[in-house]
A and B are shown apart, each in its own frame.
Chain A
Amino acid sequence: MNLSRARHGLAPWARIAGLTVCALLTLGPVVWTVSTSLRTPAESFDLPPKIIPTDPTVDSYRGVFEQIDVWLLALNSTLVTALIAVGQMITAGLAGYAFARLEFRFKKPLFALVLATMMVPLQVTIVPVFLVLKSMGLTDTLLGLIIPAFPTAFGTFLMRQYFLGMPKDLGEAAMLDGCGPWRTFRSVYAPLATPGLAIVGVLAFNYHWNEFFRPLILETSGQNYTLPLGLVSLQGNLGTGSISVVLAGVVLSMIPAVAVFVVGQRPLREGITSAGVNR
């Protein structure tokens, strides 16, 4: 006890107690959201907040389906997110492989171009991007959200690192066996790339499922809203007192993100930290 106290400057129990308080504060808003969505509207603002509802009800969930077209929002969000995730895995996988394993002219300047665009925030280019999409007739369509998100500088970088980490002999052996460049990619390297692609896919899912800025600008008619957009517009209901309905919507929209957090925590963590390291 004394020894470890000297080492860490704080007794272990105090350190763990402190961490527990911080973890509760971190998860508190989420717990409150879930429990309030299960209480009756009359109890929404009860203080102290009843974490375990005395009289649990799913009325708010029924309410949210009545007030907004949750199915449509969820369908839009799913379409956008899934297509972007798959699209990014394809574009990043292919381009990453080309930069890692194929020889061609202008490889270095092209790669530098891709890296440089990682530095450019979306918010800075949104006005011209909007105009480009407008000229293509893609504003207020889901495709307008999807197509510009296909190229991913970071995903390309990540996949290049991934392919560079694979032994070169594999490809050389395949070449000697008479495989062309396509066969070498298709049957030797591509199957090994799954964990890297998982990182790209999970990151894309996490980002685009929660995305708000681009949908807010591009999607003007309600039928093209994604979940975050629909929820923020539902929030106007604070005045009518049905915050439990809004919170029920928030809970529903969290489910896929939480599922990915549980199932894909490892690729997500790796992706987020390497996104930071390499951005």
Chain B
Amino acid sequence: MTDTQTPRIQAVRPRAATPAAPPPKASARDRGTRLLAALFLAPTVVGIVVFTVVPIAGSIVLSLFHWNVIDDPEFAGAANYREVFTDSTVLVSFRNTLVFMVLAVALQLLIALVLALAVNGRMPMWLRSVFRSAFFFPLVLSAASISVVMKYLFNQDFGVVNWLLGLVGIAPVPWLTSENAAMTAVVLVYVWQQFGFSFLLFVGGLNNIPKEIHEAASLDGATGLRKHLSVTLPLLSPTLLVASVVGIINALQVFEQPYVLTNGGPGDATRTVVMVIYESAFEQLRFGEASAVGVLLFVLIMAVTALQFRLSRRFVHYQ
């Protein structure tokens, strides 16, 4: 599918490049190569067109229609978008998602950075690999199943979290039933599972910093926190950029944790954008509005990513 009409080039090239080689054989080989390329690419390219490219266009088209799948679609122009901007649930979901993103990404990066610096310090090899495996372990678990577990742990009356807090004299927190606490619980559960990802990136980034730079900094009298702030962080900034871009893109798509832990509640306090897409399409059969929300989420993700790369030109230092 990639290449069917290049006989002209074929006929010329072999003779020009290697006059000794008999043209028919070389051109047969070229044709073979192109055929092979077409066969090799077909599954991926066809699949990506059918299941990603067409759906993107489909989302945009659908967002301009009212459609419940059963009746004929009805052209709606910008009505779905107007609705989105006036529907309080949708607006709240965008607000929640942004709040969630800021809290989750900040916490995730902070924890990961501190732990990566700590693991990078002097210690026996085996201990380092134990810590590394432990911090990375939650990543291999299912977000949905682990949220089921966390729902028990965050139970107000008999959950282990409140028991632990009780040991240091903190009164039981209504984790899943009060608005602010519910968002905090969703953030904590998400960060618990995700920080290992940023952690692995930071460990990799720290390993790429040449030892001599640290030694030079120490000789110049930079120590501890000061050294990390003025030497390590700037050198780690490309990794920080990657970790925050990926962290933000992932956080904007959060679904499993709020779906299982709180089902968006109490009220709409933890309802996220992807939950709204799911609910309006597959529970309320409002496919047009769900598509409009999807398109807006996509635009948001693109905008945040672009902004981040723009900002990074000022703050990221490449060696």
Which residues does A use to contact B, with CB under 8 Å? 4, 6-10, 12, 15-16, 18-19, 22-23, 26-30, 32-33, 45, 47-49, 90-92, 94-95, 97-99, 102-107, 110, 113-114, 117, 119-121, 123-132, 147-148, 150-153, 156, 175, 180-182, 185, 206, 209-213, 216-217, 227-229, 231-232, 235, 238, 243, 246-247, 250, 253-254, 257-258, 260-261, 265, 268-269, 272-273, 276-277, 279
Given contacts A26-B135, A127-B287, 13 further A-B pairs with CB under 8 A are A7-B224, A10-B224, A23-B134, A29-B146, A29-B192, A95-B43, A105-B3, A117-B48, A151-B52, A181-B32, A250-B149, A253-B142, A257-B140
- Looking at the complex, which one of B45, B59, B127, B256 makes contact with A95 (CB distance below 8 Å)? B45
| Other-chain residue from A15, A103, A107, A254 in contact with B141 (beta carbon distance below 8 A) | A254
Within 8 A of A (CB), among B140-191: 140-146, 148-153, 158, 160, 163
**Interchain CB contact (< 8 A) of A150 among B47, B200, B282:** B47
* Cβ-defined contact, A117 with B32, below 8 A: no
**Would you call B122 and A4 a contact (CB within 8 A)?**
yes
| With known contacts A121-B249, A212-B256, A247-B149, A132–B298 Cβ distance under 8 A | no
Tell whether A94 pairs with B144 under 8 Å between CB atoms, given A102-B33, A102-B37.
Answer: no
B183-231 CB contacts (< 8 Å) to partner A: 192, 196-197, 200-201, 204, 218, 223-225, 227
> Which applies to chain A's interface (DSSP): helix, strand, loop or mixed?
helix
Is the Cβ of B59 less than 8 Å from the Cβ of A125? yes
Between A and B, how many residue pairs show CB distances below 8 Å?
295
Q: Determine if B64 is an interface residue (Cβ-Cβ < 8 Å).
A: no
Q: For the complex, would chain B's binding face be called helix, strand, loop or mixed by DSSP majority?
A: helix
Q: Are B260 and A180 in contact (CB under 8 A)?
A: no
Residue of A23, A33, A217 touching B135 (CB-CB under 8 A): A23
Q: Is the CB of B44 within 8 A of A206?
A: no
B158: which A residues are within 8 A, CB to CB? 45, 47
Q: CA A25 – CA B256 in complex, angstroms?
A: 21
A121 x B56 contact (CB < 8 A)? no
What are the 10 tightest A-B residue pairs by CB atom distance, in nearest-first order? A9-B224, A151-B47, A128-B58, A210-B142, A128-B55, A125-B55, A95-B44, A212-B144, A94-B40, A98-B40
Q: Given contacts A26-B138, A117-B53, are A253 and B145 in contact (CB under 8 A)?
A: yes
- Asked whether A228 lies within 8 Å of B142 as measured between CB atoms, the reply is yes
Chain B residues whose C-beta falls within 8 Å of the C-beta of A26 in the assembled complex: 134-135, 137-138, 192, 196
The contact of A102 among B36, B52, B134, B139, by CB within 8 Å, is B36
From the candidates B46, B54, B150, B252, name the one contacting A128 in the complex (CB within 8 A): B54
Alpha-carbon distance between A250 and B56 when the two chains are bound, in angstroms: 35
A102 contact set on B, CB distance < 8 A: 33-34, 36-37, 40
Evaluate whether A90 and B2 lie within 8 angstroms (CB atoms) in the complex, with A129-B51, A181-B36, A253-B142 already known. Answer: no
For residue B131, CB closer than 8 A to chain A, the reply is yes
Asked if A277 and B135 sit within 8 Å, CB to CB, the answer is: no
The stretch from B84-92, B102-110, B288-296, B308-316 touching chain A is: B288-296
Across the interface, do A277 and B2 meet the contact criterion of CB distance under 8 Å?
A: no
Interface contact A12-B121, CB-CB below 8 Å: yes
Q: What are 20 A-B interface contacts by the 8 Å CB criterion?
A: A15-B123, A28-B160, A29-B153, A91-B44, A91-B47, A94-B39, A102-B36, A113-B45, A113-B53, A123-B294, A124-B59, A127-B62, A132-B50, A212-B142, A228-B145, A246-B148, A260-B140, A272-B200, A273-B201, A277-B242
Q: In the complex where A121-B249, A125-B55, A132-B50 touch, is A47 in contact with B36 (Cβ < 8 A)?
A: no
In the assembled complex, the CB of B167 is this many whole angstroms from the nearest CB of chain A, namely 9
In the complex with contacts A23-B134, A33-B149, A276-B242, A123-B255 CB distance below 8 A:
yes
Whole-angstrom distance between the alpha carbons of A95 and B274 in the complex? 31
Q: What distance in Å separates the Cβ of B254 from its nearest Cβ neighbour in chain A?
A: 10
* A117 to B52 Cα, complex, angstroms: 7
Cα A104 to Cα B3 in complex, Å, equals 7
- The listed residue with most A CB atoms (<10 A of its CB), out of B52, B152, B298, B301, is B52
Tell me which residues across on chain B come within 8 A of A209, comparing CB atoms: 142
Whether A277 contacts B253 by the Cβ 8 Å rule is: no
A98 near B118 (CB under 8 angstroms)?
Answer: no
CB contact under 8 A between A23 and B44, given known A29-B192, A102-B36, A113-B53: no
**Set of chain B residues within 8 Å of A28, measured between Cβ atoms:** 160
| B284 interface contact, C-beta 8 A | no
The verdict on B79 contacting chain A, using a C-beta distance below 8 Å, is no
Q: Are B33 and A181 in contact (CB under 8 A)?
A: yes
